């Protein structure tokens, strides 16, 4: 089974642009997939577990009285957790796989829309998704899924994520995009950026200016190509 993807609150808590700060959720984490919650945890003095340990695998949307939405997260982070099957086995020990699948299907059908509303990525204006360490395909898929929902983001940080192709993503309101230290080899792999003003592509592997024309209709003011092979092209700056 595939491990779940969890987004935990950063040390900064919430987006300061929102104007208000919800209650502390330092021990809570958000999960983009429905997971099963362990029903019992040993909290005896000899167990070595902190009181908050019982929350470490709880999915974001199953936490009681949690009103945090995606647009309030300042620096979400993709994390790898135990598989859903493993969590269910911890719950019941000998729980059957078929029973687990039926329960999972029922939960997904009932919670999918509610979770989408709580994620609320569509209303993010400024977001930092840098240093995600996207080592597994399921993490990359969910990462792209979130990027496609950022229809109102204006400032986006995607530093050091080993990204190779964002051409399927459109960021219609993004004015500032930082793609420093990724694995892009061509400008054709950039997302659609009709409103971009400042674009940082330093320390990628871009070898030519092919695809630069796609930015011709945008109000681009600065383009950083430092430490890309293209900088060795004759007259590249003038071009």
User: For 32-49, what is each residue's pLDDT tens digit?
Assistant: 443 344 444 444 555 566
User: For 143-166, what is each residue's pLDDT tens digit?
Assistant: 999 999 999 999 999 999 999 999
Q: 68-111+118-232: which CATH topology?
A: 3.80.10
Q: Where are the beta strands (DSSP E) in 107-191?
A: 126-128, 155-157, 176-178
Report pTM: 0.63
Q: Where are the beta strands (DSSP E) in 50-202?
A: 78-83, 126-128, 155-157, 176-178, 198-200
With residue 30 as reference, give the H or E element that holds it: strand 29-31
Going by their DSSP bridges, the two strands 155-157 and 29-31 should be labelled as unpaired
pLDDT band with cut points at 50, 70 and 90 for residue 66: confident
Q: Which two tokens stand for residue 109?
A: 């059908």
Q: How far apart are CA 182 and CA 206, in angstroms?
A: 10
Average pLDDT over residues 86-106: 61
Q: How far apart are CA 59 and CA 23, in angstroms?
A: 18
């Amino acid at each position: 089974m595939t491990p779940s993807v969890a987004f935990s609150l950063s040390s900064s808590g919430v987006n300061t642009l929102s104007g208000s700060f919800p209650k502390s959720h330092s021990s809570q984490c958000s999960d983009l997939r429905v997971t099963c919650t362990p029903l019992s945890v040993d909290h005896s003095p000899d167990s070595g577990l902190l009181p908050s340990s019982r929350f470490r695998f709880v999915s974001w949307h199953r936490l009681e009285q949690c009103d945090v939405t995606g647009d309030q997260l300042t620096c979400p982070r993709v994390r790898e957790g135990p598989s859903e099957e493993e969590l269910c086995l911890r719950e019941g020990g000998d729980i059957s796989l078929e029973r687990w699948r039926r329960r999972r299907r029922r939960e997904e059908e009932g919670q999918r829309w509610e979770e989408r509303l709580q994620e609320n990525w569509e209303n993010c204006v400024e977001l930092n998704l840098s240093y995600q360490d996207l080592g597994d395909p399921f993490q990359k898929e969910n990462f792209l899924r979130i990027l496609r929902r950022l229809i109102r983001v204006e400032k986006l940080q995607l530093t050091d994520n080993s990204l190779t192709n964002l051409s399927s993503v459109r960021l219609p309101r993004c004015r500032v995009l930082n793609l420093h230290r990724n694995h892009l080899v061509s400008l054709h792999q950039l997302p659609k950026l009709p409103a971009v003003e400042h674009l940082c592509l330093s320390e990628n592997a871009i070898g030519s200016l092919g695809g630069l024309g796609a930015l011709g209709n945008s109000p681009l003011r600065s383009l950083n190509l430092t430490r890309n092979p293209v900088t060795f092209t004759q007259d590249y700056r003038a071009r």
